[in-house]
Amino acid sequence: MDFISAFKSELFRPLATLVVPGGVAIGPYVLVAAYYFPGVVSFWKDHPSAFVAILVICIVAVGLIVEDLGAYIERDFWDSKLAKENEDHSDDWEQYLKLRLNDEIVGQRYLRTILTRMKFELAMVPAFFFFWCGLLWLNRLYDLWRVSRFTLLSGVLLILTVYLLLESYRSASVMSATRTLIVQAVAQSYPELTGTNQNGQEDNEVQELKN
């Protein structure tokens, strides 16, 4: 049962953070490519399996790009803001990375859940921007919507983008608080695992946080 749960978690994470944002970002451009290159439609009809394989590769590649853009927002904006609000933010993050635990703390499972959600929220912000640009391009080619309807659609996408951006900051804030609690809990229960030895020197082994 634990294996199945772990498998579902490992499967859901890339779907939520790579495939969905990548698919949203690249979707309109498939139709744009079909407009300028009729051979794309012919290739789709003649070789559907190969076309799907190429499309999946493109979706994952774009998903990695938008995830990286989301990580930029987290690193250069949210972490800086959280560091100003909580002076121990960076120290707690470093201490968390130094933990060496054989048994998982409940907070770590919660932290992974919030991390997946935050990565999705951050990746969807640039994904929606590229999606909107693609819709604008499509509308220029096919005249799908009147100006008023496209403006309404743009407003909805803007609201969703702002909402996800705000939620990503809230997720980052919750993660910061959770890491602090985990570090404090380990320091109280397992003082020998807090990243220092008896001489007060920092341990050189840093465990990589699994994304």
The predicted pLDDT at position 102 comes to 67
Query: What pTM, to 2 d.p., does this model score?
Result: 0.81
Distances (CA, A) of 111 to 45, 87, 104, 155, 210: 44, 20, 11, 33, 11
Per-residue pLDDT tens listing for the chain (211 residues): 444 455 456 778 888 899 999 999 999 999 999 999 999 999 999 999 999 999 999 999 999 999 999 999 999 999 999 999 888 888 888 888 777 666 667 677 788 889 999 999 999 999 999 999 999 999 999 999 999 999 999 999 999 999 999 999 999 999 999 888 888 887 776 665 554 443 444 444 434 444 4
Identify the pLDDT of residue 97: 76
What's the confidence (pLDDT) of residue 104? 66
- Residue 35: its pLDDT value, please? 93
- Cβ(17)–Cβ(64) under 8 Å? no
| Domain map (residue ranges) of the chain | 2-193
Tokens of 98: 């130094």
